[in-house]
Structure 1
Amino acid sequence: MSKEITDITLKKPVLEMLTVANEYCYYFEHLGKKTHTEILEFVSRIGPLLYLKGSLVPDVEVENPEANERFVTPEEWENLFYSLRETFGKYDEFWIIDPQYINENEPLKASLSENLTDIYQDMKDFVLLYQRNTYAARQNAVKEIRKLYATHWGYRITNIMAKVHHLLYEEDTDTLPFMHTLDTF
C-alpha cells in the first residue's frame, strides 16, 4: 500500500521540473570548451522538455511570500551572457515577433545569449530556492517558476527554438563558418 503525497511541492511534476531545471543549470555552468553545435544540440533537446515540464507545474497557494528569494547576481548573469555571446558570435542575434511587446506586428532584435541566460537565471533561482528545503521556500519556488513560465522563460524558449533549429539543420550549414570552429571568429 503506497502513501499518497499530500505536499504539492513534492509531487511528480514539480520534481521533474526541478530535475530538468537542474540539468539546464549544470550544463551552462560547465560550458568550458563546448562548441556552438554542442550547445545548440543541448538546447534543441532540453528547450522543449523544459517547456513541457513548465506547463505541468501545479499552481500553489503561497502562505509566506516573504520566503521568496532570487539568487543569481548581475555578475553571474553577465559572465554567462558574455561567454555565450562570444561563442555564438554573429549568429547570436535574430529577429522575432514578440506578442509581449506593445506593437506585436513589428520585429524585434533578439539574442540567443540573452534568452538562454534569462532562462538560466529563472531555473537557477528555482533550484536554489527549492533546495532551501523548507515548506515556505518550496511553495515560493514552485509558485515563482510557474508564474515565470507564463510571463518570462516560457516565451524565451519559444523565441529561440526556431533560430536553434535553423542553425542546426540549415541545408548548407557546412558553408557557415559558425558550424566549424571558434577560431573563425
Structure 2
Amino acid sequence: MEENFEHPVYDKNTIEFVTVANEFCILLESSGKISKMDFIERAQKLLPLLYLKASLLPKVENEFEGEIEKFVGEGDWEYIRTAVLEKMGANDEYLEVFDDGMRDSDEPIVASISENFADIYQDLKDFLTSYRIASVEIMNDALWDLNTNFHQYWGQSIVNSLRAIHYLLAHPEKLEDDLNEQGPSSLDRLDMSQSIFSQRQQQWGDEEE
C-alpha cells in the first residue's frame, strides 16, 4: 500500500477520533486522581462525542491476513475495570434493558459501567497504539478492526453506559459518596509487570538513558 496523506487513516474524521479516544483513555488511566463527580461529568461529555466520532470514521478494507497485533492484555483490562469500579463504588452497576438475555429470563439483567469502560478502553488503546506505529498498512487494518468492533460491540457499550451516567447526574441523590470509607486500593494487588503501562514506562526509561 502506497503511503500518502490522502489515505483514510489520515482523514479528518480519523484524526478527530484519535484525539477524542486518547482523551477517554487518559480519563480512565487517571481516574484515581480526580473526584467521583468529576469523573462522571467528564465521562458524560466524552461518551457521546466518542460515539459520534466513531460513527464518522471512514470505511476501509483490511490488508493483512489474520488478526492485527493486540497490545492491551488481560492485566491492563483488569486494571482499568478495577480503577473505574473503585471510582464508581455502589453506583457501578445498573439494570440493562437492551440485552438479548432478557427475552429468556424474568430476572433483570445487571450490567457494569466499569466492565463497559474496560471493554471500550481495550479497543481504543489497541487502535491508538497501532496508529502510533505510523505504518499505513497497520493503521489501515487497525481502523478496519476498530470499525468492526464499534458496530458489533463497544458502540452499544457507550450507549448503555451513557444512559446509566445520565441517570446518576439527573438524580444526584442516587450518588453514593463512598470514597472516604474506602480501604486500600485493589489496584495495589494486581500484577502489572507485563502490562502495557509497565512496558511504556520501561520504554520511557530507555529513551532517557
Q: Please give the range of the TM-score, normalised by the shorter of the 2 chains.
A: 0.7 to 0.9
Contact 2:168 2:175 in 1 (8 A): no
What is the CA–CA distance in structure 2 between the aligned matches of 1:30 and 1:150, rounded to whole Å? 27
Change (3 A) 1:153 1:80: same
Gaps of 5+ in 2: 183-209
Query: Equivalent residue of 1:95, what SS?
Result: strand
Structure 1 residue 11 corresponds to structure 2 residue 11: yes
Which residue in 2 is equivalent to 1:83?
A: 83
TM norm structure 2: 0.78
Residue 136 of structure 1: how far off its partner (Å): 1.1
TM norm structure 1: 0.87
Structure 1 residue 183 corresponds to structure 2 residue 180: yes
Instruction: Output the amino acid matched with 2:25.
Output: C
Instruction: Output the amino acid matched with 1:12.
Output: K
Q: How does 1:116-127 map to 2 (within 5 A)?
A: 116-127=117-128
Structure 1 residue 133 corresponds to structure 2 residue 158: no
Instruction: Output the amino acid matched with 1:161.
Output: L
What is the CA–CA distance in structure 2 between the aligned matches of 1:51 and 1:20, rounded to whole Å? 10
What is the CA–CA distance in structure 2 between the aligned matches of 1:153 and 1:16, rounded to whole Å? 18
Contact 1:97 1:105 in 2 (8 A): no
Q: CA-to-partner distance for each residue in 1:1-37, whole Å, 9 max, x for gaps?
A: xxx9421111111111111111111121122332211
Which residue in 1 is equivalent to 2:185?
A: none
What is the CA–CA distance in structure 1 between the aligned matches of 2:116 and 2:181, rounded to whole Å? 24
Which residue in 2 is equivalent to 1:110?
A: 111
Which residue in 1 is equivalent to 2:36?
A: 36
Residue 159 of structure 1: how far off its partner (Å): 0.6
Change (3 A) 1:15 1:93: same
Contact 1:68 1:141 in 2 (8 A): yes
**RMSD after superposition:** 2.0
Residue 177 of structure 1: how far off its partner (Å): 5.7
Residue 176 of structure 1: how far off its partner (Å): 4.3
Change (3 A) 1:177 1:28: closer
Instruction: Output the amino acid matched with 2:140.
Output: Q
